[in-house]
Structure 1
């Protein structure tokens, strides 16, 4: 079974539906009510449960893991998809608001760490687990005027590598997925325009729009047994706009 944070909409919703179709039991975790996504999965013949969670709240992340383990007796995978991006405005680094800086790191870094920590005992006791964290292609391209966001996503790459070293002794694989701009996803469309999308497409080896389905395949690979000997890696899914 797999927990997906930020699973109530956008890319997270796509992950949840795909995991359900692939036969995984899915815990749809989000700060907003994920009940509608759970209904979609269950109506399609899958098995899902809803968990409302603020990933920055330590106690809430523990309750999330406990609720899932109580229902299904195990936690096989965690997809740390929850993040803070859509409300960020382009701002020169010397004009960034300190409170916004802290909020970005609270959600993107603290939230990821807390969720990893909450599921770790269940994976450790089984001697197996898969954790997928979410970084960003902006780490490779160093997009200006998003310093706090880029820095937070850079931290995720380091967090993943260090955690892979610690968790590997217990059979737990930890990897990062780094998406690019996804048109029509709520996390992006509120702040990106058509001209930006066209520029990004021109810079790719595979010159087309990226879709949520392009990310789904990578998540299914990293969560499945086909990647059991892959850990500490950062997989860029960007159509060849940047290389690692």
Structure 2
């Protein structure tokens, strides 16, 4: 990182599935994991839920159970430390639904929802999801059997987009950690931040589909390269 950008006041960080892989939670591309057993169209779209709500609930029940016992790794802990100790703003935006940022002590904007959240498709009510959900579950707000996971599926609008856009327009430093660069609108965040004048850095296990859009790259396991990067930023402020 350049000397000018090492003292960035406002930092926006996008995290993807790669940051949680070392905590035992698989990504879309992992072989043998939950995603490998299902088509995205069947378990991660409104149409799939309409066709077979039990299949979708069973899929997210399994993911919820995995996330409930998963623990944050060194990368999550480092970002929580950065958010706590950096004198400027540190905005975490995550595509992940696992809640590991919060377990590590950070706060994050969950643009794709959360596994421990339930949503009523009839009235829009939200509440904490039980460990096991089913099509017969009723909404505590309207008593209708229209409950679904509070997850943003393909074809739906991600949460917090206006707020995220404002942060991208005003940040000094934008970082993407463990993202594939394949899913929009998140894949376009680097261009938005760069256009606004921010320095951009990608931290990933390997190149992503948007690697060429970043000014700086760190390659390696998130549990190693993220703590190193955070240490550099905090040391520059000491």
Using the size of structure 2 for normalisation, the TM-score is 0.28
More helix as a share of residues: 1
TM-score (norm: length of structure 1): 0.28
Higher RCO (CA 8 Å, separation ≥ 6 residues): 2
> Which has the higher Rg, Structure 1 or Structure 2?
2
